[in-house]
Amino acid sequence: MSSIKVKKALLSVSDKAGLIPLAQTLKSFGCEIISTGGTGRKLAEAGISYTDISKVTGNPEAFGGRMKTISFNIESALLFDRERDAKEAADLNIEAIDMVVCNLYPFQKVLEAGADFETLIENIDIGGPTMVRAAAKNFKYVATITNPDSYDSIIAELKENKGALSYETRHELMRIAFNHTADYDAMIAQAMDKSLGKESLRLSFTGGKTLRYGENSHQSALYFKEVGAPNSLYDMDILHGKALSFNNILDIHGAIESVRTLNRTACSVIKHSNPCGLCEGTDQRTVLEQTWAGDPISAFGSIIAFNQKLEKSTVEFLGLEKKASQRKFVEVIVAPSFTDEALEYLQLHKNLRVIAYDVNAPRTGKDIRYMNGSLLVQDLDDQLHSKIETVTTTSIEAPNDLVEFGLKAISNIKSNAIVVVRRKGDMLQLLGMGAGQPNRLVASKLALEKCGENLTNEYTGAPEGLEAYIREELGKTVLISDAFFPFPDNVELAHEYGIKAIVQPGGSIRDNKVIDKCNELGVTMIFTGLRHFKH
């Protein structure tokens, strides 16, 4: 299809940002501008002449502005087929309008400002969507501009093509226009439902990217961005490496979440969405080493996230300059930014994905899960505890920063979950975890066994002193459960390994039996009042 010269344009906008340069460009190519009240005044202030829309409709604006653009003349000028209907349009004295520039009444803005119901009703646009849809339907001959962000590219094309726009541009503008009116109507529908106590949810996503594959190689997968979402993970900057898969993105999200709320220099190693290593401290290289030490076997093929700019001295730990068998194999590294030297070093591995994303940006929205034609929606789990209460007669001090570190860790691990955390020098470290178990006792056993394995790896003394060393070190840790202990068996197991402090939400009908067992064994138990299931 050919380009269309814009000889007549209708401008009627609520958001007038950037409008004047567009109008001036149209005028410079001899385009006649038709406009409505507020937009017309803005044009007049800039010295741009226009035709008042009432001269086209044959009627004045009426009913407090509710009637402006809706008319046979306007909609016909937008809708008629320039080839098939040319004679009929001429007989009816209909002159073609080649462009509509329209963004709608600011319903979202007044809704978010807490406006009353009557104000919301007055901010439902009727004429605007009618014009936009008519123009978009007839995109073969009409350009429809609904987003001020499009103005610069439109101006550039008008200048390059002497006042004309290509078919490809009109087609793209049509797509944007129909998405715009669909989102607008969905937002109004949700608000009207809510006004009558009927909750509804209409989601809008765009920009579907094809991923390498889904959870398994035989599954295809797409990745979308929620319209208007701030800090969307979709916008992560892939600086290096091969394309991402479905699993990569899930693990990247898990990695970001696990370091997002940590206070100091932090690092996480993620495998199958769970942090198998997590640490915070002051020295980035040492923090990475201790994170990796949390489970060096599971760290193979992992995702690593940092909450601060990544330095070359840190990533040299991976040994990428060595032959393949001596490197530490990692799938993805995520950080807010990278030094030039760090990025250059990471690029030694041609397939390693290097991603820049602001891991410290606040989360927004809801936790949404789609299943077989149904949808679950919940608030984000963004509260650590409602109390920190020692409920046993034995009271060993469990430092608040260590407890909070452990709670942040466990809120990112699949249930049933147990973590054991410790202070090591100036660092806080996840020493062992058990994740995703149907039996909490098994989760405890896995976490404690991993602690024993890691402490064995770090021990440098005589063999006969190993058992005492493990027990002594575990006595300095805190064991944290994501939900209450239903029976005393977890306490008994923890005590066998030397654990002296346990944190759990409480709330079981058998709390007293669990507390009694702690008192009997000299174990401190702290209730937090909040569980952290992650299914």
Task: Give catalytic residues, as residue numbers.
Answer: 137, 272
Q: Beta 367-371 vs 524-527: how paired, if at all?
A: unpaired
- 32 - beta bridge partners? 8
DSSP 8-state secondary structure symbol assigned to residue 328: P
Check: CB of residue 354 under 8 Å from CB of residue 333. yes
- DSSP-derived pairing of the beta strands 32-35 and 8-11: parallel
- Structure tokens of 98? 């080649």
Please tell me whether residue 478 adopts helix, strand or coil conformation: strand
Residue 377: other Cβ atoms inside 10 A: 12
* Residues 476, 459: Cα–Cα separation, whole Å: 16
- Between CA 148 and CA 180 the distance in angstroms is 12
> What are the φ and ψ backbone dihedral angles of 83, each rounded to 5 degrees?
-100, -60
The answer for residues whose C-beta is within 8 angstroms of residue 63's C-beta and 6 or more apart is none
69, 299, 435, 437 from 330: Cα distances, Å:
59, 8, 21, 26
Structure tokens at 200: 């509804």
The H-or-E segment that residue 157 falls in is: helix 151-160
Round to whole Å and give the CA distance between 235 and 14. 28
The alpha carbon of residue 101 and the mean position of all alpha carbons in its chain are separated, in whole angstroms, by 31
Question: Is residue 497 packed enough to be buried (19+ CB in 10 Å), middle (13-18) or exposed (0-12)?
Answer: buried
Token readout for 357 is 């994303």
How far is Cα 132 from Cα 32, in angstroms, rounded to an integer?
19
Within 13 Å of residue 380, how many CA atoms lie on the same side as its CB? 8
State the DSSP H helix or E strand holding residue 450, giving kind and residue range, or none if neither: helix 440-458
Beta partners for residue 206, in sequence order: 225
C-alpha 6: how far from its chain's center? 39
Measured between alpha carbons, how far is 438 from 252 in angstroms, rounded to an integer? Answer: 25
| Inter-residue contact 433 to 274 (CB < 8 Å) | yes
Q: Alpha helices, DSSP H only, in 307-351? A: 312-315, 340-346
Closest C-alpha among 333, 150, 336 to residue 231: 336
Give dist(CA 214, CA 494) in Å, integer: 39
What DSSP designation does 67 have?
A: B
